[in-house]
Amino acid sequence: VVIVGVMPQGEKVAFEPFDVLFRELKVLGSFINPFTHRRAADLVASGAIEIDKLISKQVPLEEAPQVISNPAAAGEVKVLVVPGRG
């Protein structure tokens, strides 16, 4: 389980420790700086960052489980899941 985002300090979440143990889950947090989103979007919009080169292929949402459960193909960098495509 990866928790990505920004939450107010002091915010609490509830979970059942049994599920974490039984399913052998790992909980990993990743802080996202909310002040960098606008700059990143502007860089992409201006063409300063060519994100098309990072996307190896696009798949519909229905194929996401298969893509996630299989190792990346040789040369595959990023697979973009597009809901409603297909």
Each residue of 4-19: pLDDT tens digit?
666 788 888 888 899 8
Token pair belonging to 49: 């960052």
- The pLDDT tens digits of the residues spanning 23-35 come to 898 888 777 777 8
Q: Which pTM does this prediction carry?
A: 0.48
CA 38 to chain centre: 18
Give the start-end residues of each E strand in the chain: 2-5, 28-31, 55-60, 78-82
Write down the residue that tokens 């915010």 correspond to. 11
